[in-house]
Structures are given as structure tokens and as C-alpha cells.
Amino acid sequence: MKNLHDWLLAHHIELNDFTLIQRAFIHSSYLNENPNEDFEDNQRLEFIGDAVLQLWSAKYLYDRKPALTEGQMTKMRASLVNEASLCNMAIVLGLNQFLRLGQGEIRENGTEKASIVADMFESFLGALYLDSGFEPIDSLLKSIIDQIELSEKHQNDDYKTRLQEFVQADDKRSIEYILVSESGPSHERRFEMAVYIDKMMFGKGYGNSKKRAEQAAAKVALEKLVR
């Protein structure tokens, strides 16, 4: 696809604010190398997109036939919205080709790096929701969902869901993830997350995204609890 305009036309998406959609593809590394550009990076849109995706996936799974149990929906949603699946969706749609990255990320093949592509996809959904509401998101995701595996392929690596199921067998217990530290340049961020169960820290984890660090922390906590 030559450009984003052509992509939107091919997918029958009409926009009110094209600039908003463009922002979804601007990685922080691009702005760090182009400080005079009058743009904002995609991190705030990612926050909106994450919430939109959670709602869409919950509704999609709720409507599946035959009806799924709450436990089944929880596991399948975790598989659907994890980093690997989001990256896969974006690449299937061809959206990763429109990423605007710094030269360092370009040299490291950032357009196929799961953490960058998944975050961009959430940002794109956030921008699309703010511009046009839920309908185009629903149509777009349903058009590719059959190409995205919803089996248990990724579930063994979803330590957050496994920890939640283990702990919340007693519904009075709570789980909270807290950012401990964030370091490194924009193209090589390092996050440290801690997981608290009933206000007590059970583990810390590290990763190049908050989501990966949370998974690492959940893995540590789960191993402690199982022991």
C-alpha cells in the first residue's frame, strides 16, 4: 500500500481528522530525532486504544456461540489482546508500514518489533475511536479476527491471567501492578514493575514495555505462591 490515505480508502474508513490518525504512528524515537516537528507521539492515544480494545474483545467474546463461561472469556481475551496478538493483527492489516521511527529503531527493524507495533495498533484504535466512534473499529477487527488464533497458543505465557485466577479464587484478595522505575533512551526503554497482592509485594519484573514487565513480575509472584 502506497500510503495511509490509500489504506483507509481500501478499508472503507472515512475520517474527520486525518492528523489525529497520523499521530497514532509517531513513535517517541522519531520525535526525539526530529524535535522541531509539530507533532505529539502516540502514547496518549495508546491509553485510549487499550480501553477500546478491552471493551471490543469483551463484547466479541460475550456474543460468541455457543456461549462461553466467564473463565473461558477471561483466558481468550488475554490471548487476544496480548502483545504478540496485537502485533500480528497490525501486520496482517499492513499498518506497521506506516510507522514513523527514529533512525535507531529503523536500523533495528522497528516496524516488526512486537512492542512497538502492538503499541501503535492500540494507538490507531484509540485514534479511530476518537475520530469516528466504535463502528469502524468493530468492522475492521471482525474482518481479520478469523486470521488471529484464539486458541491456547499464548495462554501458557500469560502469567498475569494465571496469577489472577490463582489469587482471585478468593474474591476478597486484590492484585495491583505498580511502576517502580523507567530508564534508558526512548528506543531502548527498560521498565521495572512490581506486583502487589493485598498490598504486599510478591515480585518484580523487567521488560522493554510495561506489559512485558508486568508479565515478568506476575511470573515471579506465581512461582512464589505455588511454592
Tell me the mean pLDDT in the region 143-169.
68
Place of cell 505465557: 157
Between 53 and 76, the higher pLDDT residue: 53
Quote the cell numbers at residue 128: 479511530
pLDDT digits (tens, 9 = 90+) for 102-118: 998 888 888 988 889 99
Q: How far apart are CA 56 and CA 52, in angstroms?
A: 6
Per-residue model confidence (pLDDT) at position 13:
94
Q: Are residues 125 and 216 in the same domain?
A: no
Q: What is the CATH number of the domain that holds 182?
A: 3.30.160.20
pLDDT digits (tens, 9 = 90+) for 4-15: 999 999 999 999
Sign of CA dihedral 176, 182, 223, 161: positive
Q: How far apart are CA 89 and CA 139, in angstroms?
A: 14
Tell me the β-bridge partners of 192.
181, 206
Strands of 175-183's sheet in order across? 175-183, 190-197, 200-207
What pTM does this model have?
Answer: 0.69
Q: Which of 57, 36, 188 is nearest to 116 (CA)?
A: 188
Residue 155's pLDDT band (cuts 50, 70, 90): very low
User: What is the tally of structural domains in the chain?
Assistant: 2
Q: Which of 154, 182, 200 is the last residue of a domain?
A: 154
The 8-class DSSP code of residue 166 comes to H
Residue 171's pLDDT band (cuts 50, 70, 90): low
Place of cell 518484580: 204
Task: Answer yes or no: 170 catalytic.
Answer: no
Q: Which of 227, 169, 215 is nearest to 191 (CA)?
A: 215
Query: Catalytic: which of 50, 83, 105, 158?
Result: 50
pLDDT digits (tens, 9 = 90+) for 22-65: 999 999 999 888 888 888 999 999 999 999 999 999 999 999 88
Between 149 and 144, the higher pLDDT residue: 144
Q: Are residues 47 and 94 in the same domain?
A: yes
Q: Which domain holds residue 203?
A: 159-226
Per-residue model confidence (pLDDT) at position 124:
98
Query: Catalytic: which of 41, 105, 122, 158?
Result: 122
Task: Answer yes or no: 165 catalytic.
Answer: no
Q: Which of 102, 134, 154 is the last residue of a domain?
A: 154
Q: Are residues 52 and 36 in the same domain?
A: yes
Burial class (CB in 10 A: 0-12, 13-18, 19+), 171: exposed
Q: Are residues 123 and 149 in the same domain?
A: yes
Q: Are residues 138 and 194 in the same domain?
A: no
